[in-house]
Chains A and B, each alone.
Chain A
């Protein structure tokens, strides 16, 4: 017993780090490696539906490495490029719209009294507690040709014929906004709540108009929130295909949908994996680069501080 306790006190701290690390390796890194491997294999009929990349056969160790799947992506780039640009465009404009709506909302919540703030934050998160599919169907009910909004407007005599809202960009972006808005509001709120009121007063005292206070103080100091929120919306939005499929027209093919088709309908796991890897590269590389730049800047700042500290 004593030995166990001794072990725990000595290694407890390391254990705390090792458990999540192990979790990440097993459930994140290994599947990622698996997908990466699959993208270099040859498809075949059977279970799993691809030839092993390496192994030990009758002739000993063998590898079966090929780039054909990526070659296919290049060869049939027309079929993959359009869905990819569709997805990136959808993600980009969804992020932008979410930002436009979330920024004032987050500001308003951060400026409310603490008791109001708690209620408003719960209201922001409330939709997360229901199925997103359910919310999309509710939206369809609202936007349909004979849906709630159209019948209301018709009864009020404001319009003569129902407006077509479903299967348009409008309905898609409504769905995206509805789903992703909280992911933008929360990081913005987290940054805004830490903003010192005195900074705004100081700027106003020094002659800044309300617009100038926003431009020179509020906006630069909330950039971390804008970046965090945009990444939180943009990344899942690129892979999104349920919302465009349900709310958009049949012409709106997203890269997520292509991935799904390759995987489940064509059972071409290697090509699906290649698409997934390409998507990952498109998304992850800019983020890694941004993090690297950020880290370098912090390190430079620190080095500068240390240099000055030594000189002083």
Chain B
């Protein structure tokens, strides 16, 4: 990528009465990226999407796509198309007519429209279904028609509003990979809006987590998961256990933290002796054993709750001072029987797996 980014959102604010839906938000997105806006409902992600499509005005700030300011460009002429959450297929038109709709509006010759529709039907694996009406299709087929229709005008940017929300779990998993595959083949920039963190993690190259109209953190899925910026992100993406404490010493890249239990953590830098810190540990990074291993960050716990999920078992254990930890143990060990309710054991975690949070 050279020069300015493909999509530049600068200091954009949008208010509805007293509610600030999008609050001074800035974001750059590169060409060909599959970017995901992740957040709970009401965080402003849909408003941002509608501003990109041109359905909502921008109060202050600006949106640039491919170097062109979009403030005066109506939805019909933006190089942007949107795939709606409920697909918004035209119920009185066949699949063919739905896909051809945007091409007809562009005034393409009939022969070209026909060949493009056929090509799009092949892309979404719906060849031979062009004559059907939307109500004659399954949920997954409708979703693919909506995708084909949105791609028909070869937009520079495709917006997808909760693209998989209306599909059942099994179908959703298959469709996720299909969507990524199509995106990679077409090299179109995709922006996906979702409240489902798993969907965001599997689809996106980068995720922007939104809360109360602001972007809290923008990073790759792995960085977001492993190095969350604050406890909101840590808690929002997956499960986490929190520990509190005060920094006792910081030397040689290692922090010693005093709390209900003493914790040794790898120092990410920027912490001083006496600082109050919050620490997050992912459940799969905590090990559980019947006997003490004698290492650092180890404590004796009692199993309070246990749930077998197949691949793994989820535990809730109580440590010294009523400290509650959530952990996941893979179900692959043979021989040693797993800990059951009310049994005591030892948990331990690596200093490198302790995430230090600044709030």
Which residues in A have some Cβ–Cβ distance to B below 8 Å? 196, 198-199, 201-209, 212, 216-217, 220-221, 301, 304-305, 308
Contact = CB atoms under 8 A, between A and B. Distances in A.
B75 interface: yes
21 contacts: A196-B88, A198-B86, A199-B88, A201-B55, A201-B75, A201-B84, A202-B84, A202-B88, A205-B53, A206-B101, A206-B105, A206-B153, A207-B76, A207-B77, A207-B153, A212-B105, A220-B92, A221-B91, A221-B92, A301-B133, A304-B136
A205 B82 contact: yes
Contacts of B74: 204
B81 interface: yes
Contacts of A217: 90
A196 B92 contact: no
Interface residues of B, number: 26
Interface string B91-102: 110000000011
Interface of B: 53-55, 74-77, 80-82, 84, 86, 88, 90-92, 101-102, 105-106, 132-133, 136, 149, 152-153
B75 A308 contact: no
Given A212-B105, A305-B136, A308-B136, A204 B88 contact: no
Contacts of A207: 76-77, 102, 105-106, 153
Chain A interface helix/strand/loop/mixed = helix
A206 to B, nearest CB: 4
B88 A198 contact: yes
B105 A202 contact: no
A227 to B, nearest CB: 14
Contacts of B149: 202, 206
A182 to B, nearest CB: 27
Contacts of A199: 88, 90
Given A196-B88, A221-B92, A308-B136, A202 B82 contact: yes
A236 B76 CA distance: 44
B72 to A, nearest CB: 16
Contacts of B53: 201, 205
Contact of A196 (B86, B105, B106): B86
A206 B76 CA distance: 6
Given A202-B88, A204-B75, 4 more contacts: A198-B88, A201-B53, A206-B76, A207-B102
